[in-house]
Structure 1
Amino acid sequence: MLKQFLKHSALYTIGGGLYGAVPVILAPVLARYISREGNGIIDILLILTLLVRLTVALEITQGVARFYAEGKTPDAQRRYASTALWFALPAYAIFGVLVYIAAAPVAQLLLDTSERAGILRLAAFAMIGEGVFYHLQNQLKWQRLPKIHAACNAVYAIIIVTATYTLLAVSDFGIRGIYWAIIAGTGCSSVCAWFGARQSYGFLFDREKLVEMLRFSAPLVPSGIAIFVAGFVDRFFIKEMLTLDDNGIYGMAYRFALVIGLAVVGVQGALTPLVYHHYKEPGTPENIARILRFFLAALLPIFLALALFSPELLQLFTGPAYYAGASLIPLLAASLVVSRLYLFAPGLSIAKLTIRIAVINVLAAVLNCILNYVLIRAIGLPGAAVATLISALLACVAYFALGQPHYRITYPWGRLGTAAGVAVVLALIPFITCLDFSPLAGIAIKLAMLIGGTLVIVFVLDLKNSGQTTA
């Protein structure tokens, strides 16, 4: 399993990195050609896109993930995949029709004016494209086809980045140019993903298998909504309690924090299907604990680099209007890491206890709403990032605590906690000290902190002896 994970993780990191790099690569373009208010609108619609992807098809792709590997024959696996696809496509079509009809009042609610209904309708087509591509790409993961998965992501990234730059910088399409680019990118990459997994699809629809998959995935719909709320409700509180300009600053900081998500994508893409394939093997729990050490050894230095150099990143790639987001980047990066640690606590998913997963995520979402309201009133824009981080931490603890009885994994908590503590302490130093250095001296000191911190983190995690999982 471990060798497969390393191979697949590398490929998923490349492919997922290309996919996840799109908002990072486009951040300077959006900062230059789109106003802060426009970036705030884009951020709101991005959140809606993620919600659509999580809910419209009732997370049927997660049902495929759980049962595809256990299909006893190729025909059974083909029926799972085909049934899920023919369920998802009409669901997205219905969503598109509803948005087209109700665009004006929805635009008034989300974008402050019904005059933006045209943008919303165009964005809805882009959302459908993202949803279909998400479904088809997941099928490549469940079939463990990382090379094709990476190639499809490359098509997606190249087309969207090229088209966005052309439509914004050359043709002056404004916000609409972004969504035309997404429609083009998701359309072409979806065709590639379908072609790569074409042997799994046919004109088949198995009602019994649909019910079986939906029994597993349907509870993940409120769970998906809760994840959306927990991770992105901060933008709506910022919009209502502050301004769209503040949303633009926050969204730009989030795009830079997404750098850390590039590494997470590779692990997520490789680990989940491998766990479902190998969880019954006696060595799998130890392998998961070992992978967690390597995961943190890679991500904690990236987190530290983002925290230390966040002001320089914004100065280099954006304008003065976004410099206030420097203190948000480390908080948002930490939230992204913590929110993905559930991958290493698979007990509830293995036991098919999706209702408990939904309860965890719903409670985390409620807590995040409360914390956003309280902390934004108290400390302004940073309060949103702090609220998201706290709720993600508590949800993570719940996943590990409730999952252990169903699939026990022994983690080296002492080493993991110490390594994380080193990264957090070093990340805080530039924000809590008032030392006045020249720009070059400041960069040199931060670089020394990054190198020293990385060495300490790797030493504490003791990667050479990572097979020993006692604290």
Structure 2
Amino acid sequence: MVKNFFKDSFYYTIPSFLSKGLSIFLIPLYTKVLNPSDYGILDIFLAYLAFINMTITVDIISGLARFYIQEKDKNIKTVYASTSLYFTAFCYSIFIILNFIFFKEVANFVIGPKVQRYFFEIGLVYLWINGLNYLYTNQLRFDSRSKDHAKVNILNTLVTVFSSFILIVIFKYKLLGIILGYLIGSIFTFVYVIHLNKNIFKLVFSFTYLKQMLTFSFPLLFSGISVWINLYIDRIMLNHFVSLDQVGIFGLGSRISSIAGIFLIGVQASLGPIIYEKFEDDETPKKIAQIFRYFIFLSLIAYLIVCLLSNELLEFFTTKAYLNANTVIYFLIPASILSQCYSVFAPGPWIYKKSKFVMWTNIIGSIFNILMNLLLIPNFGIVGAAISTLTIHLFIFIANLIISQRLYKIPYQWKQIISSLIFAIIAIVIINNLNFIKEYKLIFSIFSILLFFAFSLYVNLINYSELKLLKRYILKRKI
């Protein structure tokens, strides 16, 4: 299981490294051509698209994953996949048509009168193509085709970044150039991913299988809405209580913070199908706990690097208008990681089809999130939004973990994990707040990271044999 995990997660993580790396490369460009208000418009519009992606198909992909992966009959697997594809295409098509008909009302409601018509309409076309891309790309994951999955994501990243760069720098399209870049990248990806899945989807449809998938995924629709609230309600409330400028600054901080969660993308994509296939094996819980230690180790190193060098990163990559993003990064990095953790490392409800537990924890969390944002944002602005985001994601993770452990016990080594987390937090607080250290901050930051590495070995968060195994495996991989 661990061997398969390393193989698949490597291919899932490499595109993420590339994507995040190129995203960082584009930050100076974005912050130079977009003022914080424009960046805020982009952030809110992307939040709107994320909401539609989570809800419009009743999260049928979760149902497809649950039944497709366990099914042994290839013909039945084809019916599951094809049914989900045609249902997804139908839902997105109806939604896009309605949005074009009622453009003015929808655009004013989502963003306000500042939005350009072309920007919104191009974004809707991108939404339709990207919605189908999401299903096609996940199909590669369900079939454990991690290499093809990596190629698709690399293609999308390269085309999107290159197109955006040309449209912004040469054609001076600014905000419109960014959304056009997204659209061009999704078109190239769409053509390629259809080719890769040409033997999977057929002209077949089953209302029986559709009902089966939707019965499983329907409770997750409310969970998905709650997840969206927990990810994006802060932007909506910042726009309402403060300004679009603050939405833009918060959004930039969130984008930088997502770098630290890069390892989870590979973990989430590769580990989920493996758990569904092998959850009945006696060794699987121990292997999941082992993988969790690896994940925590890598995530805490990333957390240290980004937090210790956040001021320098912002000064190098952005303009003065965005420097306040530094105040939210410390909270948003762990929030970003926790927001996706429970679906991988608290798998009990997913394994035993108890998705209602996930739904209720997310709903309760989203209610508390709204209340905390109402309380904190008017008084503390973007810092209040960041604190609320971290608090809620921590609550949801712990709640889901408690439920999962009752359904599917996993022997996590909490002593090593918590002690390493405390060490990392103390290092960040000391180095970022003691004035006499700031003159030699880079040296102390490097020393702290090395010291954390040694501490992790000391408390056995990770051991020498595991490091050698990881190094040997990475060095021999070729894409």
Q: What TM-score results when the alignment is normalised by the length of structure 1?
A: 0.95
Q: Give, in angstroms, the shift of residue 52 of structure 1.
A: 1.6
In 1, Cα distance between the equivalents of 2:69 and 2:181? 35
Identify which range, 208-217 or 373-382, moves more after superposition. Answer: 373-382
Q: Give, in angstroms, the shift of residue 465 of structure 1.
A: 9.0
In 2, Cα distance between the equivalents of 1:434 and 1:363? 42
Contact 1:49/1:130 (CA < 8 Å) preserved in 2? no
Q: Give, in angstroms, the shift of residue 114 of structure 1.
A: 6.5
Instruction: For 1:159-178, list aligned pairs within 5 A.
Output: 159-178=159-178
* Unaligned stretches of 5+ residues in structure 2: 467-479
User: What's 1:447 paired with?
Assistant: 446
User: What's 1:110 paired with?
Assistant: 110
Cα deviation 1:378-426 (Å, max 9, x = unaligned): 3221110010000000000111101112111111111111111111222
Identify which range, 108-117 or 237-246, moves more after superposition. Answer: 108-117
Contact 1:288/1:344 (CA < 8 Å) preserved in 2? yes
User: What's 1:194 paired with?
Assistant: 194
User: What's 1:320 paired with?
Assistant: 320
SS at match of 1:218: helix
Q: Give, in angstroms, the shift of residue 28 of structure 1.
A: 1.7
Instruction: For 1:359-438, list aligned pairs within 5 A.
Output: 359-435=360-436, 437-438=438-439
Contact 2:431/2:441 (CA < 8 Å) preserved in 1? no
Q: Give, in angstroms, the shift of residue 431 of structure 1.
A: 4.2
Q: Give, in angstroms, the shift of residue 260 of structure 1.
A: 1.5
User: What's 1:59 paired with?
Assistant: 59
Contact 1:105/1:114 (CA < 8 Å) preserved in 2? no
User: What's 1:9 paired with?
Assistant: 9
Identify which range, 173-182 or 209-218, moves more after superposition. Answer: 173-182
Cα deviation 1:432-471 (Å, max 9, x = unaligned): 4344643xx222222222221232134324423999xxxx
Identical-residue share of aligned pairs (%): 28
In 1, Cα distance between the equivalents of 2:96 and 2:180? 16
User: What's 2:330 paired with?
Assistant: 330
Q: Give, in angstroms, the shift of residue 263 of structure 1.
A: 1.4
In 2, Cα distance between the equivalents of 1:27 and 1:89? 33
Identify which range, 203-212 or 374-383, moves more after superposition. Answer: 374-383
Cα deviation 1:36-79 (Å, max 9, x = unaligned): 11101011011112112111111111111101122131101111
Contact 1:104/1:116 (CA < 8 Å) preserved in 2? no
Could you tell me which amino acid in structure 2 is paired with residue 428 of structure 1? V
User: What's 2:75 paired with?
Assistant: 75
In 1, Cα distance between the equivalents of 2:149 and 2:103? 34
Alignment length (residue pairs): 465
Cα deviation 1:177-201 (Å, max 9, x = unaligned): 1111111111111221222122110
Identify which range, 457-466 or 350-359, moves more after superposition. Answer: 457-466
C-alpha distance 115-60 of structure 1, shift in aligned 2 (>3 A): closer
In 1, Cα distance between the equivalents of 2:376 and 2:110? 22
User: What's 2:358 paired with?
Assistant: 357
Contact 1:293/1:461 (CA < 8 Å) preserved in 2? no
Cα deviation 1:267-324 (Å, max 9, x = unaligned): 1110111111111111110100000000011110101111110000001111111111
In 1, Cα distance between the equivalents of 2:61 and 2:457? 36
Q: What TM-score results when the alignment is normalised by the length of structure 2?
A: 0.94
1:235 aligned to 2:239? no
Identify which range, 346-355 or 417-426, moves more after superposition. Answer: 417-426
Q: Give, in angstroms, the shift of residue 117 of structure 1.
A: 3.6
SS at match of 2:411: coil
CA RMSD of aligned residues (A): 1.7
Contact 1:61/1:139 (CA < 8 Å) preserved in 2? no
SS at match of 1:219: helix
Contact 1:222/1:358 (CA < 8 Å) preserved in 2? yes
